[in-house]
Amino acid sequence: MEVLIVFFRWLHVISAVLAIGGTFFMRVILPLGLAEADAASREAVFLRCRRVFKMVIHSCILFLLLSGAFNTWRNWGDYRLNRPLMHGLWGPHMLLGVTAMVIALILLAPRKPPTWHKTGATINLVILFAVVLIASTLKYVRDTAVKNHAPAPAAVPSLQTP
């Protein structure tokens, strides 16, 4: 079971890193790098990179959903240690994460990007940064609650002899 726990945690983190880094690259780095190219080359390179990015994002979304479901199932008991705070963090983490996925799918669905793709990608970056902030806070709160939670004393057999 420990191998699965580590694997799904790793899968979740790697998928988030690729999604956030890829979005940052497509929104910030690539346009700056293509600024000096002629219009035809700029569009051809952008569309080719966008196609590859689309395949990466689709994989990341699948892996985030699978690993997120496993991680939630695995940690759900710990979330009861401080239910109002942890559920107050878990809910927005899920809601904003799914919102970012939907925005990415809408932006990448057509063959050519919509006219609002730069604004959409910027909004998605802000949402993704917020998701990481909330997830980091949730992990800290959960780890602290688990560490501070005293386990119930085990039943000790009586040492008295009849």
Per-domain boundaries in the chain:
2-144
**Backbone phi, psi, residue 113, to 5°:** -65, 145
**How sure is the predictor about 3, in pLDDT bands with cuts at 50, 70 and 90?**
very high
Query: pLDDT, tens digit, for every residue of 90-126?
Result: 999 999 999 999 999 999 999 999 999 999 999 999 9
Q: What's the Rg (C-alpha) of the chain?
A: 22
pTM for this one?
0.86
Query: pLDDT, tens digit, for every residue of 43-82?
Result: 999 999 999 999 999 999 999 999 999 999 999 999 999 9
